[in-house]
Structure 1
């Protein structure tokens, strides 16, 4: 446990991590800690941590007892710990599963009371307080692409007492209308598999065309393949209808079609905080195969790869690096492949000298047509100004290629800019301006962006 830390600078973060890791060794193997202290011996510029540890009789988990629930079916809780019974008591894993139960939103608090007999068999009683599972809410906002946003939502986080999460909502924005119904089970058949079902209908007014789509999807995911690894599988089917409001119909591709797809996603996340990361990195990969059923049926494959790293610089600075690429392989040409399934890029999380999804090939009416491959690279320096307010300077580069042209690295679009960020619990609020360094005819010299969330 200590070996990876030997020879490193003995700062507060390293010593805190070392203490936590050694404590975790005992907690995860059934030894209750009665005394756990760390002293420091400093000699000749070398610091040697000395631990004073006293532990009790090793414990096995005998039973999990639930009290205080009225609506929740008790077996939905106890099943979460079934495979731990009879084993050495892993307090780390036990606490991790308790946190997941609280994350459902069905409980406002939980208190654990342990009772151990002389042979080391432990009974854990969970004193649970159920929260207000049902509720309705409204929300509003503004984005540089969506414009004004107003939504209404109803939820039940403990449907039928089975810890299922049900929600339905309606959202109106300057771009259109979205209605959906969602139902999720965090532990399908009492396993670690998550199931999310969705029924939706959406109308959108986009650059050069309008879209109506209604469909269903089912997501299966697991996060127990490794400490930082998540995997998911998504099945989807929808009916789509697109109409031209500027782009010539011949450049829209198939306009009335059924879209059926299978998507596999893999994510590896080592960030210290997924909302406002200050250090670490993440990698994401996805593969999607789809079938388009219209007047001319076709199929396609799509591959996405992205990653980002976050590097502290001094006490107030941070360098963020990001890169992503997507490649689409359709069986048809641009005249048949639907515009709504093509790749688009540009915007507040891409090349910031363009409006959202407006980079790349254009129609004769100067509307974005999308393409089959793109790449984007970003570098930014973030510096704390005061409190939660930060300044940022960035450089973006990228390219989007038309259908049948493949990845193009010869004519990259470049942007440079500055911005202000305010860190909030939901993520940073960002106001940024991107200057177009490779401006072509009919392109803007620069764009302001207002967004919420990390850029990448």
Structure 2
């Protein structure tokens, strides 16, 4: 059998491609490669690949395949990915009937792959045992193995001709409409390659315009594609049916076990009777996911809008285990090893209240047991206290910090609120009382501090552990009053990091970070050492010891009242699991609230290796100080999880 353009080349051929378009999307989305090794643990297979053991098929009909595609490699690869004969060539089908079904199904699959790449005049010829596949009967006796050949001529590239869209809103296009249409990435335009995926993608955007306008059942009423083989163009006519306008109806919740169902309903923040908006439903789902008590949250809209204009919504949830433990570790040749562990209960009283105990010890190996740092904290968190987007946090924490610059012991109790202002912006404020003992260059001192630490956090990164695009910005302000010396002060800090992908596959990323801060009010000795600004270490200027960069009194670093620091990295992904990261860090801290930029700057540079895992990249960095003091080490190594920033 041969499929090709009509013999009457001067005629216009109308082809309604509903099935082919759907298959094209399925073929494109399902094409993937698998690892080439596997192992089994507790009855489950991991990393199973194409060489894994194949189940024996009764009455299997082996075959050999000769697949020929007269086109460039991109189309040839698309045809190979679409062809079941090629993909399943190591899995013989059951009998001749199974082989024939697989071969005949390849006509639609391969044609759909060609349509997806703008090829509407292709020919496909499939032979089984030298005969056209449609001429072979299911009970035919085939040799073992049966010879199968597939010959594909993709034909010429077609481009879009006239585009007609009916059913768009009569009113002016809104900002939400533009976001839904995404004109910056619009492919269905006259003269563009007539890829079938562009039609399907455009349909989704047009439907989304009506959904954003409160029409939940908008759909594509009809789709007409007319291919003209004389001009090699495809005319497209789409008709959109907006369906009825609706309001959100009752909210149902299924799957709850220990979480109170009414609490879940309240946390969606959906009020029955409000206008239908898919963004409202999306935010409700994200809000439930952020609670941390559900392993899955799915949404089911009613099939029809009710006679009252209401559309009921059902949230189907699955609960996580309530208790969990976790931990982490990092290492530096200058700072030693750090270990962290925590235990957490995620649903104390049925409304996603969490209780968490944290413990950490650091500088292991860098100092003897007397020089270790310890920290412990107990944190209670209750979501939805004032609004569904507002959380209450209570914390009791203790810390002992021993570094070359100072030794401190502190106990802190705080309570505060955190409110999510948008999907990317969070604000928080708290009341904190801290009792601190500090021994440093200014002697031994005790401090009692009452403060109001507040923060704005914008997180527009695409990935928290391995970002490739977006920005992260934080602004911290802590007005405080030190009771022992009657000293008021304001500690302010701001940071900004940005990520820019230099390639479409995100294999080359330029990352930058900057931070600055200042303490206003009081002299250097009036501010506890653990509040002053110190630089150096794996999260600051790599190559210098932790908290070793700052103003000095004699040979002792005392920290500063202002600082700035910056870093830049070029992140190259060499293979799927290995990355190389050259970097440079710089910064300085100052004794006054306003930086004196004439003072020396500390600069460190180095090279890192990243090993990419499902949890994020493992980080191995080596750095050297470029502007060292006499006591600075010549090289430092760092190990951790996630990118440096």
- Same fold per superposition (TM over 0.5): yes
**TM-score of the aligned structures, taking structure 2 as reference length:** 0.62
Tell me whether 1:361 sits opposite 2:564 in the alignment: no
Distance 2:475 2:560 in 1: 20
Q: What is the CA deviation profile of residues 150-197 of structure 1, one whole-angstrom value per residue up to 9, with x for unaligned ones?
A: 455332211211121122233334333322211112211344212221
* Aligned partner of 2:331 among 143, 146, 149: 143
- Identify the structure with the greater helix proportion: 2
Distance 1:147 1:32 in 2: 57
Distance 1:360 1:77 in 2: 50
Give the 3-state SS of the residue equivalent to 2:480 in structure 1: strand
Q: What is the CA deviation profile of residues 237-281 of structure 1, one whole-angstrom value per residue up to 9, with x for unaligned ones?
A: 1111124xxx54xx25x6211121112222333322232110122
Structure 1 equivalent of residue 244 of structure 2: 57
Structure 1 equivalent of residue 29 of structure 2: none
- Identify the structure with the greater strand proportion: 1
Q: CA deviation at 1:59?
A: 2.1
Structure 2 equivalent of residue 454 of structure 1: 643
Distance 1:73 1:176 in 2: 41
Distance 1:306 1:14 in 2: 41
Give the 3-state SS of the residue equivalent to 1:441 in structure 2: coil
Q: CA deviation at 1:21?
A: 6.0
Q: CA deviation at 1:335?
A: 3.3
Q: CA deviation at 1:452?
A: 2.7
Q: Is the 8 A contact 1:140 1:148 kept in 2?
A: no
Structure 1 equivalent of residue 603 of structure 2: 414
Structure 2 equivalent of residue 74 of structure 1: 261
Give the 3-state SS of the residue equivalent to 2:307 in structure 1: coil
* Aligned partner of 1:260 among 445, 450, 453: 450
Structure 1 equivalent of residue 498 of structure 2: 309
Q: 1:38/1:87 Cα in 2 relative to 1: closer, same or farther (>3 Å)? A: farther
Structure 2 equivalent of residue 276 of structure 1: 466
Structure 1 equivalent of residue 398 of structure 2: 201
Structure 2 equivalent of residue 324 of structure 1: 515
| Match runs of 1:10-409 below 5 Å | 23-33=207-217, 35-36=219-220, 53-115=240-302, 116-135=305-324, 137-144=325-332, 147-173=336-362, 174=364, 175-224=372-421, 226-243=422-439, 247-248=440-441, 251-252=442-443, 255-294=445-484, 296-314=485-503, 315=505, 316-331=507-522, 333-364=523-554, 366-403=555-592, 406-409=595-598
Give the 3-state SS of the residue equivalent to 1:159 in structure 2: coil
Give the 3-state SS of the residue equivalent to 1:216 in structure 2: strand
Distance 2:614 2:237 in 1: 38
Q: Is the 8 A contact 2:518 2:593 kept in 1?
A: no
Equivalent residues, number: 444
Distance 1:447 1:51 in 2: 63
Q: CA deviation at 1:98?
A: 2.0
Distance 1:408 1:303 in 2: 19
**TM-score of the aligned structures, taking structure 1 as reference length:** 0.85
Give the 3-state SS of the residue equivalent to 1:94 in structure 2: helix
Q: 1:49/1:201 Cα in 2 relative to 1: closer, same or farther (>3 Å)? A: farther
Q: What is the CA deviation profile of residues 186-221 of structure 1, one whole-angstrom value per residue up to 9, with x for unaligned ones?
A: 211344212221111222222243322112122322
Structure 1 equivalent of residue 171 of structure 2: none
